[in-house]
Chains A and B, each alone.
Chain A
């Protein structure tokens, strides 16, 4: 297989940009403000760096799984092999549903508020309709941003955030006052748990394994992206809280805009609006591409109704899945805008991500028993220590988040129940319906009739 070299292969630069770009959303700064609020003084950086370090553990587990099962199907296949198909389908559905809807909900809320502030005559929801329509149209036409363009956008965003952060710290003559006193354990645990949201999506780079020459490049790319993001988020969050009171940041739907305006005036606000637009469009686009492909693939294996596998004969895009996501996005955005409960969505997405990362640690342990002979291009060092730690730490963070947010626990329980009922009733029905519709005779000639002997 190694002798077959692909014509096009991805570089490490693109892998890092993709991994970091998937995490970098406008809603990340809402989460960063929540992290800062849970800890004392200017110690948010501690929680962010701990959150990043914990995601390194999860990244190590994803790397081992991706090495054994190099596939774009990701957790759908890892969990199917490590546990069973039912667990795999249920978790994949819940993860896709909650993380993507959570991110779209928060992202559209922030975007609409920011643009409404800049152009007050236009109602906030109109902006959501325009933005989602734009991204949906791009996806329906199959227009994708070129790899180089995506790299430039992501690296420019990171550079802008670090520059503004460092400038703010310099301008205010910032000094860490109590660098190692983040406060009580409960606050730190909650800050770290929400901090995980800052890195949600770093592992969505694993599907690119089919476009690289060495599986290890994906692991390296994920690790570098996590390191870079940890530093960028830490600098920017500390700078935000050094310039603007935490209460004001928490009350603002786009704390990064308030911060940029405070430190750089109208120029800063304009620059940050451009940053928010770029990050939100990038996030919407990545979300619609990933989830529409997931819906299409699920429909092809009869987990979702066959209508979701309809493909545009002109553009080769799964148009029904894309339009369904457009409708779901509009509904979630309207609900978020009407209820203002965008922070609950951040907590919900962070809790589900923690649960998935805990299961990823368990999957590594399970597959070491079930597939011990399988070659592992990336083997986590120190035996079972890291997978066990990943499982325990992320399970603990999920419990901590759910215990302190009963609404989030209720949302998650309902989502899980709905998915479980769906997997146990609708999926068997869809599979049975497909079996009944299949042609009775196989197209492949039978060997007995042809007189061919198998080996």
Chain B
């Protein structure tokens, strides 16, 4: 089980890597979304906000997210550090993402572009 701090660090790593990728920022300049990341085995909530192509992260939830990413803390930490792809936990049911299909696919594309296969 990962800790809340570890999850925060993993999301920081993800956010930093994203914001260093100029191509991603251009590609997502019109994709303004609020993504809530929730661990289901510890008390841990984070919000990622994509606005004008730039991602920011803060601790805590958001009222009306466009996407909600739910999994256990270990999976979330591994995933945001890029040690596992989201597809594996998604297809085995460990990871649940609520939101429109297009947004879910785009989130996976972003992860692919940051961390590779």
Contacts of B40 in A (CB 8 A): 1
* Interface contact A442-B83, CB-CB below 8 Å: yes
Residue in B1, B36, B63, B91 whose beta carbon sits within 8 Å of that of A80 in the complex: B91
Among B38, B65, B67, B93, point to the contact of A69 (Cβ < 8 A): B93
Give every chain A residue within 8 A of B108 (Cβ-Cβ): 300
Secondary structure type dominating chain A contacts: loop
A171 within 8 A of B: no
> Which residues of B lie under 8 Å from residue A71 when comparing CB positions?
90, 93, 96
User: Could you say which residues of chain B place their CB within 8 Å of the CB of A77?
Assistant: 91-93
User: B10 contacts the other chain (Cβ, under 8 Å)?
Assistant: yes
Kindly state the separation between the CA atoms of A76 and B93 in the bound complex, as whole angstroms.
10
The reply on A311 being an interface residue by CB < 8 A is yes
Q: How big is chain B's contact interface, by range? A: 35 or more
Residues of A within 8 A of B13 (CB): 443
- A326 to chain B: closest CB distance in Å? 19
Kindly state the separation between the CA atoms of A144 and B5 in the bound complex, as whole angstroms.
Answer: 40
Binds B, one of A4-12, A375-383, A396-404: A4-12
Chain B 1-37 interface 0/1 with A at a Cβ cutoff of 8 Å (1 = within): 1110110011001000000000100010000001010
Which B residues fall within an 8 A CB radius of A?
1-3, 5-6, 9-10, 13, 23, 27, 34, 36, 38, 40, 42, 61, 63-68, 70, 77-78, 81-83, 85, 87-88, 90-93, 96-102, 104-106, 108-109, 112-113, 115, 117
Partner-B contacts on A (CB < 8 A)? 1, 3-8, 69-73, 76-77, 80-81, 142, 144, 207-208, 210-211, 293, 296-297, 300-301, 306, 309, 311, 313-314, 316, 434, 437, 442-445, 452, 454-455
- 17 A-B contact pairs sorted by A residue (CB < 8 Å): A4-B68, A5-B63, A7-B65, A70-B96, A73-B90, A77-B92, A207-B101, A293-B101, A297-B90, A300-B112, A301-B85, A313-B23, A316-B106, A437-B117, A442-B81, A442-B83, A443-B13
